[in-house]
């Protein structure tokens, strides 16, 4: 039995914090005809424009291989924005105002001659009054990111005599330590590190950003956030969806590379890091890197003991029969790609020695859920020995999606003559407390990249430190006997 106690702001009516205005720039999107642009980037930009965050001199130049005119690009992205769950209060009149900022250019990003044509196009836009600042967004597979970066450098688009130049790189940043290091070398040869924004959209989520505030601004929690009082930490990212239309990508990636190597390691770092000296990019990222360096790379024996792989078979999701992973279009019928991964990490530093961090992620699980659960150690039970009810340890849950918030489970006495305990729960909900979920992740990150704030983006050494943890697991799995796949049904809680 549990009781819920609602947690609300002391100030009843909190005004919506106004978002800052981005710098003037031309946002050049490579892969503009792709899925990410339609589902996330354009809806995010449209939302920012509607709330007045766009500089009057902001424009988008989409680059894609799909032949279409600027008018067709505007029409297609408008249809996507109208149906996107990330778009707030879509209206035809506001879209008509916004779409004037959108332009399209057909180009083959693997053709070295294309980049001189791009330079000419940007020069022509500048003559007509467009911004001299350029923000390049590489929304393409990692395998073609290198040629794009080299092409921009060869055409002289990596630096500006007037105005600034920045580049945003989408995950995955490589597929292992060696490829990440090679890509970093390409980037270093063309762009200054301060101009490079490696994006992880989890870092733009409001609750993820709130982890540091929750930890370091509350004297109720900060003193117990260590090995003396915490028993173990669980970080879960469960999805009910399958691979959808990403079979080709997923076949060569898998759950470990797709989710653990970036999103979930970032959540681990924010949960475990030491307090930064300031909330600026270098201070925060330096403390995250120190966490990654404290995680010892796994041996084959460690991987056999501390990791689990899974792949979903046919099952039932929300009352509907769904196929197994091997029956999905584009998937090898004998595929050994994991759609579920669970790893127990140990952080070998003073604060966390002996505290396991248990991370798990999977597709086609019973419910969509992303959360961090911090389990505190039980109190000595001598006082309650022989009592008719069990005293449960306290749990702090940071809920990232679908319902953003924080809950704390603790024990209380039930009314009556006997000492019977019951778990009660103090719940804080962003939606209930503030009346708004705030900007979605891509809005925050796009705006930060326009403003030059890299706090929520990953640094070169951070990416390489993550792959230093993940690559030994992948190599160990290649040596260990492959599990009997599929080993969990769609709609279940995953493998044993």
What is the Cα–Cα distance from 360 to 307, expressed in whole angstroms?
A: 9
User: How many whole angstroms separate alpha carbon 140 and alpha carbon 146?
Assistant: 10
Known active-site residue 263: yes
Residue of 103, 263, 346, 375 marked catalytic: 263
Q: What is the 3-state secondary structure (H, E, C) of the chain?
A: CEEEEEECCCCCCCCCCCCCCCCCEEEEEECCCCHHHHHHHHHHHHHHHHCCCCCCCEEEEEEECCCCCHHHHHHHHHHHHHHCCCCCCCCHHHHHHHHCCEEEEECCCCCCCHHHHHHHHHHHHHHCCCCCCEEEEECCCHHHHHHHHHHHHHCCCCCCCCCCEEEEECCCCCCCHHHHHHHHHHHHHHCCHHHEEECCHHHHCHHHHHHHHHHHCCCCCHHHCCCCCEEEEEEEEECCCCCCCCHHHHHCCHHHHHHHHHHHHHHHHHHHCCCCCCCCHHHHHHHHHHHHHCECCCCHHHHHHHEEEECEECEEECCEEECCHHHCCCCCCCCCCCCEEEEEEEECCCCCCCCEEEEEEECCECCCEEEEEEEECCCCCHHHCCCCCCCCCCEEEEEEECCCEEEEEEEEECCCCCCCEEEEEEEEEHHHHHCCCCCCHHHHHHHHHHHCCCCCCECHHHHHHHHHHHHHHHHHHHHCCCCCCCCEECCECCCC
Q: 61 - beta bridge partners?
A: 28, 103
Q: Do you find a cis peptide bond into 402, omega within 30 degrees of 0?
A: yes
**Residue 74, C-beta contacts closer than 8 angstroms, at least 6 positions apart:** 99, 102, 104
d(CA 110, CA 146): 10
Structure tokens at 186: 């390409």
Which candidate, 466, 423, 447, places its Cα nearest to that of 45?
A: 447
Q: Which two tokens stand for residue 60?
A: 């988008």
Tell me the HSE value of 231 on the side-chain side, using a 13 A CA sphere.
11
Contact indicator for 438, 151 with CB cutoff of 8 Å: no
Active site residues: 263
């Amino acid at each position: 039995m549990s009781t819920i106690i609602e947690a609300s702001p002391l100030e009843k009516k909190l005004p919506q914090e106004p978002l800052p205005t981005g710098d003037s720039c031309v946002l050049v999107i490579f892969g503009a005809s792709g899925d990410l642009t339609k589902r996330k980037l354009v809806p995010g930009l449209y939302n920012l424009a509607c709330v007045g965050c766009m500089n009057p001199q902001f424009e988008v130049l989409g680059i894609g291989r799909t032949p279409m005119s600027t008018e067709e690009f505007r029409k297609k992205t408008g249809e996507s924005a109208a149906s996107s769950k990330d778009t707030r209060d879509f209206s035809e009149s506001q879209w008509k105002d916004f779409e004037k900022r959108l332009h399209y250019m057909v180009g083959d990003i693997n053709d070295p001659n294309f980049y001189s044509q791009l330079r000419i196009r940007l020069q022509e836009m500048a003559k007509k009054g467009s911004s001299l600042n350029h923000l390049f967004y590489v929304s393409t597979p990692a395998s073609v990111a290198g040629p794009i970066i080299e092409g921009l450098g060869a055409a002289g688009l990596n630096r500006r005599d007037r105005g600034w130049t920045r580049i945003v790189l989408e995950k995955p940043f490589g597929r292992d330590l060696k490829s990440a290091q090679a890509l970093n070398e390409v980037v270093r040869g063309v762009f200054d590190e301060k101009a490079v924004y490696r994006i992880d959209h989890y870092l733009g989520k409001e609750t993820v950003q709130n982890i540091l505030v929750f930890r370091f601004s509350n004297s109720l929690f900060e003193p117990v956030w260590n090995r003396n009082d915490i028993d173990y930490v669980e970080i879960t990212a469960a999805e009910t969806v399958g691979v959808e239309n990403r079979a080709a990508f997923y076949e060569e990636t898998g759950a470990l590379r797709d989710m653990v190597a970036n999103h979930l390691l970032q959540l681990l770092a924010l949960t475990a890091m030491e307090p930064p000296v300031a909330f600026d990019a270098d201070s925060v990222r330096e403390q995250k890197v120190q966490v990654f360096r404290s995680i010892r790379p796994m041996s084959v024996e460690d991987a056999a003991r501390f990791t689990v792989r899974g792949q979903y078979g046919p099952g039932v999701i929300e009352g509907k029969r769904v196929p197994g992973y091997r029956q999905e279009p584009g998937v090898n019928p004998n595929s050994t790609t994991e759609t579920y991964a669970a790893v127990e990490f140990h952080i070998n530093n003073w604060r966390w020695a002996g505290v396991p961090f248990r991370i798990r992620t999977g597709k086609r699980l019973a419910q969509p859920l992303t959360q961090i659960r911090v389990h505190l150690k039980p109190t000595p039970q001598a006082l309650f020995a022989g009592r008719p009810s069990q005293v449960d340890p306290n749990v702090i849950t940071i809920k990232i999606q679908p319902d953003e918030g924080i809950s704390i489970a603790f024990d209380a006495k039930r009314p009556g003559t006997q000492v019977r305990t019951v778990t009660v729960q103090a719940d804080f909900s962003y939606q209930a407390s503030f009346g708004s979920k705030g900007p979605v992740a891509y809005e925050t990150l796009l705006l930060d990249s326009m403003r030059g704030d890299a706090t929520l983006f990953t640094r070169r050494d951070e990416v390489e430190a993550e792959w230093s943890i993940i690559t030994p697991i992948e190599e160990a799995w290649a040596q260990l006997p492959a599990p009997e796949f599929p080993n969990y049904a769609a709609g279940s809680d995953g493998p044993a």
